[in-house]
Structure 1
Amino acid sequence: MNTTVLSIHSHSFTPQGDTIMAIIADSHIAIHTWPEYKYVAIDIFSCKQNIPDNIFSYIRNFFETEDITYHTLFRKVHFNNDK
């Protein structure tokens, strides 16, 4: 993704697992890990129309896995001035 990272916050849990939250110019990315289950959940929320297709290849390569499932949700925000 071509974006600006504004801040990163993280928390490590005992005995294992991490949550990392990146606030980006276009919204946020949240990563939650459960090492005991070899599981990672990643939420990418973007104000841009589309998330680049190569983001899934990047995630697959970074975590060295072929086992990836993703869902794309489109949200429509209605403001008071919408007609």
Structure 2
Amino acid sequence: MDEKRFSGRTDCFSAAHIVDEDTGKRLRCLVWNMSDTGALLEAGEEDGVPEAFTLLTAIDQTSRRCRVVRRTGARFGVLFIGS
């Protein structure tokens, strides 16, 4: 499998919230790992995670705009977009 990430990821296993930019609705999620360019997240499959959202991490209260680039069940990879 070819590596497509632009930077290495660090395991962090931290709580976070997904904030839907259109509705303001918040969903709880887990951050499995993160890099400067993206992250691997997990939320319930029934949560209906939008294709683009703001991720608010509990550990540092940082918000990052994200776009989903891969979904595997309840886990999904995101790319951080904009600033």
TM range (shorter): 0.3 to 0.5
Q: Given the two structures, how large is their TM-score scaled by the length of structure 1? A: 0.32
Higher relative contact order (CA closer than 8 Å, sequence separation 6+): 2
Structure that is richer in helix per residue: 1
Q: Given the two structures, how large is their TM-score scaled by the length of structure 2? A: 0.32
